[in-house]
Amino acid sequence: CEDVLVKSQTKQNLNSIPLVDIYDRIIGSKSKCATHTLNNFGSCDLHRAFSVFLFDSKNRLLLQRRSSYKPIFPLYLTNTCCSHPLFNEDECIEEKAIGIKIASIRRLKFELGIRDTIKLDELKIVTRMRYLARYNEIYGENEIDYCLLIKKDVTLAPNLGEVDELIYITSNDLRNIVSCPKLTPWFKYISCNLLPMWWENLDNILSRKDDQLPQIINAGDISAFPV
């Protein structure tokens, strides 16, 4: 079983994902592994990613602890689901960020085992965030990260190769969560700067029609974001 989980990560690392410029325009592709490998300047290729924040009908947020099999930030607590679109026709559709939503639904099903039907319009994009975060001397993240919200009660059957633990938290729990020593840098930044406002206005945000893509927030280098 463990061998299967390791092979799954190895196979995923060969997938091609979209490289982008600072304006989030696709300029090419590379394997997931190559994209996350740091260069001599301590950075890596800027690429497109997404972070999903799934709330249930009680307004609790679902968090996951990343699997120990993950090559980057293993066993770190993070938002519901974070990954990358594949470099293919469907997941690179730019119109209304449909490609990102297709990719988000794919990963929600793959990582969390969600079998409930998720519609594209149930996912709301609230921001795009550019950031750099080194994990160690070899690997890191350099992403334009689409942040998506969804409110839905779902049945969970987590993929052990992707997820070590799943927990629901309330907005009151957030202050304690951000003090956890093993929190992914992007989730820590979002939790301290953006998530409280989203949570407070959740129903209003989810009732809005899809407008133009939000501007890109430049969070900078958050590798050593303070606890």
By annotation, the residues acting in catalysis are: 82, 143
Q: Are strands 81-83 and 16-20 parallel, antiparallel or unpaired?
A: unpaired
188 touches 91 (CB < 8 A): no
96 touches 210 (CB < 8 A): yes
**Residue 157 three-state SS:** coil
How far, CA to CA in Å, does 15 sit from each of 27, 31, 101, 156? 17, 5, 18, 25
167 touches 69 (CB < 8 A): no
Q: How many CB atoms lie within 10 A of CB 88?
A: 16
How many CA atoms lie less than 13 Å away from 106 in the CB half-sphere? Answer: 13
Cα–Cα distance for residue pair 35/118, rounded to 1 Å: 29
Q: How many CB atoms lie within 10 A of CB 104?
A: 28
Among the listed residues 142, 140, 226, the one whose alpha carbon sits nearest the alpha carbon of residue 188: 226
> What is the greatest pairwise CA distance in the chain?
47
